Chains A and B, each alone.
Chain A
Amino acid sequence: MADTTGGRERRSDFITVSGRPLERCYAPVRADAEEYCRELGNPGEYPYTRGIHPTMYRGRLWTMRQFAGFGTAEDSNARYRFLLQQGQTGLSVAFDFPTLLGYDSDHPRSEGEVGKLGVAVDTLADMEILFEGIPLDRVSTSMTINAPAAILWAMYIVVAEKQGVTRDRITGTIQNDILKEYMAQKTFVFPPRPSLRLVADTFAFGSREAPRWNTISISGYHIREAGATAAQELAFTLANGREYVQTGIAAGLDVDDFAPRLSFFFNSHVDFLEEIAKFRTARRIWAREMRERFRATNPRSCMLRFHTQTAGCSLTAQQPENNIVRTTLQALAAVLGGTQSLHTNSMDEALALPGEDAVRLALRTQQIIALESGVANTVDPLGGSYCLETLTRQLEQETQDYFDRIDRLGGVVPAIELGFFQREIADASYRYQRRVEAEELAVVGVNCHAAGPAPAINLLRVDPRTEFRQVERLQAVRRDRDGHAVERSLRHVREAARGSDNLMYPLLEAVGAYATLGEIMGVLREEFGEYREEAIF
């Protein structure tokens, strides 16, 4: 959510359902002014505990962005159009496992996986279909892609340019957060060092050529989904953020040139108050780290902007309608925490990818919070709550303790190689599961109040012919393209990978020549090697 409002608000006044006018923001009546400024600050002021904009949702609502993708590019394109029609304001692309790991759909390892958990993208031809009829100068797009992030971004840029939208005008985000892949999400391909070099290349390219694009989404979401606590999610994510800033600086970039394009992505879990505190803590710590550690001078470098997704791991297959209520509370926490964009999970996601009815209901949940509940009409309404401010301070201290432990291990990459994060997360996830089974933690419909009929839910089934159709299209592209141009472009990719030239340029050439994702990743696999993790449980 860029502050494009210039301080203007959505309405001239904000009035409660009972007729009471609401001020933009409330502050302590007799504040200890010095402490208030140091710890909280007004919204839009350092350290941004209360939000990054003075008007927040009174100026502009958050972006409603549902993560979606399945089957072929045609199937997913239809879902995106449906979501935009329903009032969604941004796109978010889910890719299938072969795409996430850089295999073509006809690779033996892709069998059974094509189009299952996301959309299959092998070449530019798929990307062209995926965004057909969607104006890329007006819609922002987030892509959950990590190891091959630079390649998919290159495809997006070429598709936009074919639509007549130059690269300096596209808006959106690539996840591109490889560090948390080793910790939690596990769709890594290359070892950490060459992976970070790719990240640095995207930072440099972005700051030069695509200044409105977020070149990374530093993600706690998957760390939390893997079983981490709120403090671990916060600490590990922000530690990764510091590592990326160091990576950019080490690559010769000025911190204020790329830091404003760093974005974050958090989970909103079941514990309502703790989650709100977590979002506020994240902003405060990041602002201080950027100003004090990295000497950033541009205020935008110090503003932590984030996307939120409600907690997939909190959804239950039992009594799935309960998930609507869980998601509502989690979405409300994200909004009270000042998120810039939001995905609300659908009620059926413990069973399958979301069906159309379920995803519409999830989007409506956001719309009701935004337009009916009134919480968007005053900024940081819970700021100053004794409980919340205490939780915020506690989480800040716990994060600092983790920073110290990570530093003692030599930083994020050595700590990954030692299995530190993986072990911390595995321990937390096992403790959580044991607490659920001991009924210390309630999961309504599962370990308590479990009686009741199972409702019939219309689940989404990915068309079983997807794999066949996708492989057919891939083979047609391979047949019809200029083979020499492909070979030449892959040679350029290899040369850049061996040297230190920015990889984005040869990648743009390769995707434009319809080289496949698997071919390009194959070259990079040969040059960079592949990462193998030690399995810790």
Chain B
Amino acid sequence: MDRIIRVMVAKPGLDSHDRGAKVVARAYRDAGMEVVYTGLHQTPEQIADGAVQEDVDVLAVSILSGAHSVLLPRIISRLRERGGTCRVLAGGVIPEEDVPGLLEAGVARVFGPGSRLDAIVDFTRELVRSRV
């Protein structure tokens, strides 16, 4: 049997739109994963340190505030500084033209509006499996 996947769902910055993050967190839980939800208004440092401390496999970051190009690279560089090896996903309102930059910064995939929950869950599982 596969071991249980651990995921952190995070809301960085001042963004207060938490509907999507909470729905995704619940879908992960219903899929049998262990889920930590950070709640709102977390700094990149708090999120990265939390992900290391909780030893999660995947960090799923939700941003709808337009600050993705500042916040995501900061989360990832802090994560690597702390020796964190988890994979990072992003979701939210992120323009197509910003996606290549985020992938380059180390985001495994960006899920935009209208993404299916089962697609997010399946991708997360694959991501963890491919790493082991």
Question: A residues engaging B (CB < 8 A)?
Answer: 97-98, 100-101, 103, 109-113, 116-117, 185-187, 225-227, 313, 316-318, 350-352, 426, 429-430, 433-434, 437, 443, 446, 459, 462, 533-537
A117 touches B118 (CB 8 A): no
CB contact between A97 and one of B14, B39, B112 (< 8 Å): that residue: B14
Candidates A101, A318, A430; contact of B114 at CB < 8 Å: A318
Q: Which of B14, B35, B41, B66 has the most CB of A within 10 A?
A: B14
State in angstroms the CA–CA spacing of A110 and B43 once bound together: 11
Bitwise, B2-21 to A at CB < 8 A (1) or not (0) is 00000001000111101101
Cβ contacts A to B, 25 pairs, < 8 Å: A97-B13, A97-B65, A100-B14, A101-B14, A101-B41, A111-B70, A112-B71, A113-B15, A113-B66, A117-B65, A185-B16, A226-B19, A316-B113, A316-B114, A317-B113, A318-B114, A352-B93, A429-B19, A430-B23, A433-B117, A434-B117, A437-B117, A535-B40, A537-B9, A537-B26
Chain B interface residues toward A at CB < 8 A: 9, 13-16, 18-19, 21-23, 25-27, 29, 35, 37-41, 43, 65-67, 69-71, 93, 95, 112-114, 116-118
Residues of A within 8 A of B65 (CB): 97, 113, 116-117
The answer to whether A187 touches B16 (Cβ under 8 A) is yes
Of B19, B65, B95, chain A has the most CB atoms within 10 Å of the CB of B19
> Are the C-beta atoms of B13 and A113 separated by less than 8 Å?
yes
- Whether B112 pairs with A437 at a CB distance below 8 angstroms is no
CA distance A109 to B12 in the complex (A): 10
Interface centre among A112, A313, A434 (most CB of B within 10 A): A112
Name the contact of B43 in the complex, choosing from A97, A103, A109 (C-beta under 8 A): A109
Is there contact, CB below 8 Å, between A110 and B14? Answer: yes
**B26 and A112 form a contact (CB under 8 A):** no
Closest to A110 in B: B14
Number of A-B contacts (CB under 8 A): 96
Residues of A within 8 A of B37 (CB): 535, 537
* Least CB separation from B116: chain A residue: A437
Q: Which one, A186, A429, A534, contacts B16 given CB within 8 A?
A: A186
Partner of B38, one of A116, A446, A535, A536: A535
Least Cβ–Cβ distance between A147 and chain B, in angstroms: 11
Please give me the residue from chain B that is nearest to A313 by CB atom: B19
A98 to B67, CA, bound (A): 12
How far, in angstroms, from A317 to B113 measured CA to CA in the complex?
A: 6
Residue of B nearest to A533 (CB): B39
| Residues A352 and B95 in contact, CB atoms below 8 Å apart | yes
A537/B16 in contact, CB under 8 A: no
- The distance in angstroms between the C-alpha atoms of A313 and B93, with both chains bound, is 12
Known: A316-B113, A429-B22. A112 touches B69 (CB 8 A): yes
B18 contacts A186, CB within 8 Å?
A: yes
Chain B nearest CB from A148 CB (Å) reads 13
Bound-state Cα–Cα, A430 to B24, Å: 9
A536, B38: Cα distance in complex, Å: 10
A-side contacts of B21, CB under 8 Å: 537
A223 CB, nearest partner CB in chain B, Å: 11
B118: which A residues are within 8 A, CB to CB? 437
